[in-house]
A and B are shown apart, each in its own frame.
Chain A
Amino acid sequence: MKNSLSSRLLVYLVISMLIILFSMGVVLVISLKLQEVADRRFKDEQYFQQLQNQLTELQSPLNTYLTSYSSSALSKLLFISETLHESIPENRPITSRNSDLIKREIYFLIDAYLDRLSEVIEQKRGRKVQQYVQNYDDLLTMYSYINREINTVSLLGFRVQLEVYRNFLDFFRKLQLYGLLQIILATALSFSLLMRLVGTFAGPMAQLSALAGKLSAGEFSIPDIHLSSVNEVNQVAEAFNQMKHNIHRYIEELQEKKEFERQVMEEKVRNLRMEQVLKRMELYTMQAQMNPHFLFNTLNTGVQLAIVEDADKTAEFMEKLAALFRYNIKDKQFFVPLQHELMGLEIYFSILKIRFPKTLRLVLDIEEEIADQYDCPAMVLQPLVENSVLHAFKRKEGKGTVQVSVSYEEPVLVLSVRDDGQGIPPEIVRALLTPHTHDYSISSHVMGLENVIQRCYFFYPEQKDVISINSELGRGTEIVIRINTEVEPCIKL
């Protein structure tokens, strides 16, 4: 509660009021004090004026008494003289001040005057005419002298007081000026104190406002605000920090959820695409199998016809061809044992030898021990050989050679088909080796070499060197498939 806005406001107001009241009080007290002082300064003059009046009052009853023995005049005379005697001080110190010395003289003179007055009264009673007449003259002289002395001291006092009064006015003006300055400064002090109080919460509130603006703009990285202001503002700041943290957390949770949903969606899309690819491949395989089945049946019919007609060579050719078809449609797995792939290739080689007995030389270079150990994608070697047979020797005269090599270079299984044909232009090589990273769709046109290349890329998307073409125009082409036996293909059925 001590640091609350209301209590601090109350304290500041009380302090401000006290300061202003104090300064005004000081000015008031000073003014009153100085008025009192000014009043006191003239009391001396009033006192001597009173003495002079009493002396003057004495003259009339003195005359009356001396001329008529009036008892009333005598009593009045005695009363005034007694009053006068009592009114003058007994203590008459000698001081360095001239006016005090004259006053002292006056007191002594009044004493002497009153003594002489008593003598005159006694002499009057005693009928000592000559003496009281002489003393009366002395009394008149003394009265006159005392009056002059009082006038002198009054004039002196007045002159001194005039000077003093002038100094007093200067002094009073200076004090009033200081008083005014004090009030102005006290007001400034109070105002600055109040403004500082206002500043203790106006500044933090403005900071809070600025940070709230940033927060509303989505800037959650702003640091916590820690204020040392009044309790109310500090509490607002704490609440603001709490609110900022809560909003930040909620936003993060929403973003995480959104990210998760996005990933799920991407996974779904990827799965859908995979499924589509698989379905297309399956369709392709089925399509590819449809014709061979028909052709296989037809070929079997032809074999039977050739046997009936005793055409042995035709019968043999067609039998091999039928065997090849059988191999091709035997199953629809993507990966087959290398042995199986090589068997199909041998059947194909025997057909090619019947077709091109003089113009084609086929070489099969296989490390027998590895044929049973590894698998390879189905139908990769035959299309490569077929590609060489169909395109490599179009403009070649003489005998062409196609060599198929299978080797194992730990841990890579290397399948190579090399011909000494006309070679493939580099731009075609580049086009062929471009992976179809987009939606891979197998069209009915994609056959042979491109089919094999894209399937290799499909099965091993992370291995960019899974297939390579080394071709030199006029000298031949070598197509090498490098299967890392330690890497699982992305799909294996």
Chain B
Amino acid sequence: MVFTDTNLKLYYAEVNKILKSITILSGLAFLFFLLLSVRMLIQTPFVTKEGFSKVEEREFHYALFLPVTNQSFFQRLREGALDAAAAKNCAVTFHSIYEDPDSLSMVQYSGFNGIGLYLYENDKKTMDLLKTIQDKGIPIVQIESEIIQGPATFLIGTNNFNVGKGIGKLALQTGFDSLNMVLVYSRKNPGVYSDATLIEMGIKNVLKEKLSMLRREATSLNPLDAERIVYDILKNDPSVDVLVLTDPNDTLVAVQAIIDLNLVGKVQIIGFGDQELIKTYIDKGLILGSIVRNPYRIGYSAVMALYELSTNSYTSSFVDTGITLLRRDRQ
């Protein structure tokens, strides 16, 4: 290639421009990635001594003892408890009484500032343990069911008499002159089962003479147990026209059984919970209505009560977290 003087200047000017661009671009990109690496290194949780997330120090440590922790009711309860703990700068841990029965006996050694208990069995061992815990000065807040009673006991949860009244109100919607009702309690919702008497009082209070029959049944922790019980009830006693379920899962299973037995409309179901499927069934007329407690508020109130006990040494002896009735005409 033959270059003239002008061409040469242009050629080398062009080459120089390209090289200058490469220098600037590679320099900037190098700096960019260098700064990015340094920034990543500074910001990464791996480099901090404390760990991968910022750890906030809390003032009190509470433990909530629940029957199970993986059901939606208790999950919502946990969320409420955690939000309250975060709001009050406390820490809360959850323990399953069923999965680890020793956990309650270790409360006295574990350094908790207070515990919340969701119990429904008042056996001697449990009562002794609770007394020991109380003697150690660890505040106890009972959730949903009041096993131990006394001046220093506190209850957070639904007033089950009101639950019974709610069931009665829903039962009135059937329009039946005479109601043959079966109450199917659930081990999955022990707080209701432990207050069965109170609930039934509430029902009777509303239905009065219309209530011809009120029977009590109970499902196990097996999620499909309700189906078996519903089949048994309806086959053995065709006069039953209202079934009351006290667990969301049992409610859904019972609806399926009614459909299978082709008794839709003839046997009315009063359920528990506010799952989307339950709402759908209410809209379709498969479920008469549903009792909805407020687990989030229960969990939240439990921790708030414990916090008040830690800071003020007193709290309300009973906090009613209320219920909601879900009906077809809820809009």
Q: Beyond A94-B91, A101-B93, A178-B36, is A185–B30 a contact (Cβ under 8 Å)? A: yes
Contact residue among B9, B15, B46 (Cβ-Cβ distance under 8 Å from A168): B46
B61 contacts across to A, CB distance below 8 A: 94, 101, 104
Are A96 and B30 neighbours in the complex by a CB distance under 8 Å? no
Is A179 located at the chain interface by the 8 A CB criterion?
yes
A178 to B31, CA, bound (A): 11
A100 to B93, CA, bound (A): 11
Are A108 and B110 neighbours in the complex by a CB distance under 8 Å? yes
State how many angstroms separate the Cβ of A233 from the closest Cβ of chain B. 13
Is A265 located at the chain interface by the 8 A CB criterion?
no
B93 contacts across to A, CB distance below 8 A: 98, 101-102, 105
Chain B: interface size category: 35 or more
A193 contacts across to B, CB distance below 8 A: 23
Most buried by B among A23, A40, A41, A96: A96
Q: Mark A24-57, 1 if CB is under 8 A from B, else 0.
A: 0010001001100110110000000000000000
A193 to B21, CA, bound (A): 11
Is B8 located at the chain interface by the 8 A CB criterion?
yes
Is B134 located at the chain interface by the 8 A CB criterion?
no
Are A41 and B27 neighbours in the complex by a CB distance under 8 Å? no
A207 to B60, CA, bound (A): 82
Q: Beyond A142-B109, A181-B33, A185-B26, is A203–B15 a contact (Cβ under 8 Å)? A: yes
Contact residue among A41, A105, A164, A174 (Cβ-Cβ distance under 8 Å from B111): A105
A59 to B110, CA, bound (A): 21
Closest to A197 in B: B19
Which of B99-107, B207-215, B314-322 contacts the other chain?
B99-107
Is B12 located at the chain interface by the 8 A CB criterion?
yes
Closest to A222 in B: B5
Contact residue among A96, A100, A102, A196 (Cβ-Cβ distance under 8 Å from B19): A196
Is B55 located at the chain interface by the 8 A CB criterion?
yes
Question: Which 9 pairs, one residue from A and one from B, show the smallest C-beta to C-beta distance?
Answer: A203-B12, A112-B109, A108-B111, A185-B30, A188-B26, A192-B22, A192-B23, A189-B26, A94-B58
A-B contact pairs, 17 of them (CB 8 A): A38-B46, A101-B93, A104-B111, A108-B111, A109-B106, A109-B109, A112-B108, A145-B102, A171-B46, A174-B40, A181-B33, A192-B26, A195-B19, A199-B19, A202-B12, A206-B8, A210-B3
Residues of A within 8 A of B (CB): 19, 23, 26, 30, 33-34, 37-38, 40-41, 92-98, 100-102, 104-105, 107-109, 111-113, 141-142, 144-145, 148, 160, 164, 167-168, 171, 174-175, 178-179, 181-182, 185-186, 188-189, 192-193, 195-196, 199, 202-203, 206-207, 210-211, 214, 222
